[in-house]
Amino acid sequence: MNGHDAPPTVGLSTGPATSLAYHTGTWRTERPVYVDLAPPCSLACPSGEDIRGWLGATQEGEAGFEAAWRRLVAANPLPAVMGRICYHPCQADCNRGEVDEEVGINAVERFLGDTALERGWALPVPAASSGRRVLVVGSGPAGLSAAYHLRQLGHEVVVREAAAEPGGMLRYGIPAYRLPRDVLAAEIRRIEDTGVRIERSTPVTDLRAVEAEFHAVVLTMGAGVAHHVDIPAGAASHIVDAIDVLRDVAAGNAPLVGRRVAVYGGGNTAMDAARTARRLGAADAVVVYRRTREQMPAHATELDDAVGEGVRVQWLSTIAAVDGPRVTIERMTLDDEGRPQGTGVFEELDADTVMLAVGQDADLTLLKGATDIAVDGGVIAVDPVTLMTGREGVFAAGDVSPGSRTATYAVGRGARAVRAVDAYLRSRVLPAEPVARSASADRLNTWYYSDAPKQHRAELAAARRVTGFEEVLSGLDAEHAVFEARRCMSCGSCFECDNCFGMCPDDAIRKLGPGMRYEVDYDYCKGCGICAAECPCGAIDMVPEVR
């Protein structure tokens, strides 16, 4: 029945999806390009952790915990420690803070650290032996970090510690209610398990003498000597160094401080000292600080915790004199440049003990005679990139060298020194660090992040805290750690939400499968930019098309 001369035209019917023959990509003036930017958390992390990366793995739940921990310890071998004591600058910069509340990164870090200890996960097996020996002087956070990273690279590492136990300020400066000693010990033991040898009660007093034994030396003695100020004091006055009190408490020799304690200073040590004084029985602990809250070097959380435990702070005050239990305070005022100036107005304060927390100095006795190693402002001068001192093969990191005096900074500096040491040992040039583009908040499309409050760590009641040295903050359980990790917005890095894939009007994005992300089909992409506009985490740039 179809013997007709002319075929039917039947409304010009055609086959399905024949439009593939038409390449609309030629319309494009801008092309979407996937990018991976540095998130503000990592940029702010002095330890250089890939926070977004290990949070991402944590998001997977149980299956991702170990992977998350491994990404974490790639930078920082002390997550259970740092998960407790780090003042977490990462959280201050977290973009999520602009949506609801910053991600509780520190709590998740502690969860991973604790989980690893519970399950006995071992640190990575070090690389094959390089045949090089490195001495690390001091076993504080900088020393432990340096030792760990050096060992990972295959170097033989000896750590010499003057004290009876390793840990430095972690052990002797930070109260146990903030950092239980078993946690610290376990993480140090795990580093030793990788082959790092820690020689306890072995002070290094002569640099020249040890240099002969090693191919390189990393100085991480810290700053454990209390800084002193001159205060006229009567004979009956009880003035102690805060750092000594902390050290004695840590060593199990809790001193008697009386019912009223004044702490002079405004740093974290002052906060620790005041809180410790409360635990040692002081009904009244007053921090005397010569500037204002805004200028205080102690971290806001430390101050808040101290105030929460009943510590008082006397702002804009200096201790002019101490006479027995009588402390004379001079009120201060800030001049035009924000510096405190005496007002000549005095008042009195009763204190059984005055604790000085006005800074700590490094013990540089081992540098005696080493004129090639410059000391500047009480710390060892180093090359800002390589952290090498004035002497070839001798490096310095942590509180003994310039920079922020925090454990997280020390961990980061320890690792940085190792990169330079390794390059030095292998006679290679230290590769330049890539310039990181920040995934700033304005790149995000925060509409897509659901409201989800931070899972606050259940805090012990402040009243209970001051009765002893049990740990103040409890950790997250797995469920909450996962939840908290999932609050991470993955700033500047695709986390496979499918928005670009689902929202392309031109069906021009291919989904490559789990973990493989997406690719743009430039044959069809018209460059409308919806994918970039609707990418929650700002991981797509629109780049002008050059033809």
Partner 1 sequence: MREVLEGSQAVARTVARCRPGVVCAYPISPQTHIVEALSVMARTGELGACEYVNVESEFSAMSVAIGASAAGSRAYTATASQGLLYMAEAVFNAAGMGLPIVMTVANRAIGAPINIWNDHSDAMALRDSGWLQLYAADNQEAADLHVIAFAVAEELGIPAMVCMDGFVLTHATDVLELPDADAVDAFLPPYLPTQVLDVEYPITIGTMAGPESFTETKYLQHLRFLDAAEVIDGWSRRFLEAFGREAGGLVARYDRDTCERSRDASAARAGDVTVVAMGSVLGTLQAALPALHDAGVPVRLVGVSSFRPFPAAALRAALGASRDIVVIDRALELGSGGVLTGDVGRALAGTRSRIHSVVAGLGGRPILEASLQDVVRRALDGTLGALDFLDLKTGGIPVPTAGATEVHR
Partner 2 sequence: MTTVHIPFLQTGSLAVGGRLLSADERSVQSHSDRPSSLTKGHRACQGCAEALAARWVMDTAVDAAGGRLVVANATGCLEVFSTLYPESAWKPPWIHSLFANAAAVATGIASSLRAQGRDDVRVLAQGGDGGTVDIGLAAVSGMFERNDDVLYVCYDNQGYMNTGVQRSSATPASARTATTPAVGSTPGQAFGQGKSMVRIAMAHEVPYVASATPADLRDLEAKVRTAMSIHGARYLHVLVPCPVGWGSEPSQSIALARSAVQSGIFPVLEARAGELTDVQRIRERCDVTEYLRPQARFAHLFRPGGEDALDRWRALAEANIRRYDLLGGA
Residues near partner 2 (CB under 8 A) are 11-12, 14-24, 27, 59-60, 447-450, 452, 483, 486-490, 495-499, 501-508, 510-515, 521, 523-524, 526-530, 532-534, 536, 542
Of 298, 304, 334, nearest in space to 316 by CA: 334
Footprint of partner 1 (CB under 8 A): 1, 4-16, 18
Shortest Cβ 8–partner 1 spacing (Å): 4
Nearer to partner 1, 18 or 253 (CB): 18
* Amino acid (1-letter code) at residue 541: D
- Could you tell me which residues come within 8 angstroms of residue 468 by beta carbon, excluding any fewer than 6 positions away? 177, 279
448 touches, from partner 1, partner 2, none (C-beta below 5 to 8 Å by class) = partner 2
6 touches, from partner 2, partner 1, none (C-beta below 5 to 8 Å by class) = partner 1
**237 CB neighbour count, 10 Å cutoff:** 18
Nearer to partner 2, 27 or 346 (CB): 27
Nearer to partner 1, 13 or 371 (CB): 13
Specify the residue for token string 């992300």: 517
Shortest Cβ 43–partner 2 spacing (Å): 21
Shortest Cβ 2–partner 1 spacing (Å): 8
Shortest Cβ 102–partner 2 spacing (Å): 15
Shortest Cβ 20–partner 1 spacing (Å): 13
Q: Is-contact 196 147, C-beta < 8 A?
A: yes
Nearer to partner 2, 59 or 314 (CB): 59
d(CA 65, CA 128): 27
Integer CA distances (angstroms), 187 to 75, 77, 138, in order: 14, 7, 16
521 touches, from partner 2, partner 1, none (C-beta below 5 to 8 Å by class) = partner 2
489 touches, from partner 1, partner 2, none (C-beta below 5 to 8 Å by class) = partner 2
d(CA 229, CA 359): 10
Query: Strand (E) positions, 107-152?
Result: 133-137
d(CA 375, CA 364): 9
344 touches, from partner 2, partner 1, none (C-beta below 5 to 8 Å by class) = none
DSSP 30-75: EEEEE--PBPHHHHH-TT---HHHHHHHHTTTHHHHHHHHHHHHTT
Shortest Cβ 436–partner 2 spacing (Å): 23
Nearer to partner 2, 372 or 523 (CB): 523
Nearer to partner 2, 36 or 498 (CB): 498
Of 342, 343, 339, 287, nearest in space to 315 by CA: 287
